[in-house]
Amino acid sequence: MGKAVKKNKPAAGKIKRDLNAELLQALDEMKRGKWARKTEFFPQPDGSIRRVISRRDGTVEKDHIIPAEKSLVAVARAATGLSQAAFAKLLGVSVRTLQEWEQGRKIPSGAAATLLKVAARHPKVLQELAA
């Protein structure tokens, strides 16, 4: 009469993940100040900047050189120690615009470029504004 309903069983060797628990754990770690990815900037003798993005487990996600002519934004943000979101908010631009500047796809103009120079030379001023 009626068809038998088959229950889907996990394949042998597959572990069932609790995504909700994983997300809650990640949110809890973020609130406690733990980081999943960290970006560090290292000035080079030629004026360029070495950017290293590493994960909490120690693996390096990205390690590359930012040419000197494109490094002003990275230097300014690194000097303040702010996240991209906080730095973008402080400058009055979107996070995406800041990312475009940092990756060298776009160049900040006029007042933004001047503010970045101030941030690079006097990071404490911007840190005070952010507080």
Name the residue range of residue 70's domain: 27-130
For residue 97, the model assigns a pLDDT of: 93
Strand partners, 39: 53
Q: Mind listing the pLDDT tens digit of every residue in the chain (131 residues)?
A: 555 555 555 555 677 888 888 888 877 776 776 667 788 888 888 878 888 988 888 889 889 888 776 778 887 888 888 888 988 988 889 999 999 988 878 888 888 888 888 888 888 887 787 77
**Residue 61 is part of a domain; what is its CATH number?**
1.10.260.40
For residue 7, the model assigns a pLDDT of: 57
- The helix-helix angle for 84-91 and 110-121 (nearest 10°) equals 120
Answer for the pair 55, 37: CB distance below 8 angstroms, yes or no. yes
For residue 95, the model assigns a pLDDT of: 93
Question: Considering the entire predicted model, what is its pTM?
Answer: 0.53
Domain count for the chain, please give it: 1
Residue 63 φ then ψ, to 5°: -145, 110
Residue 119 lies in a domain: yes
Residue 12 lies in a domain: no
Within 10 A of 71 (CB to CB), how many other CB atoms are there? 23
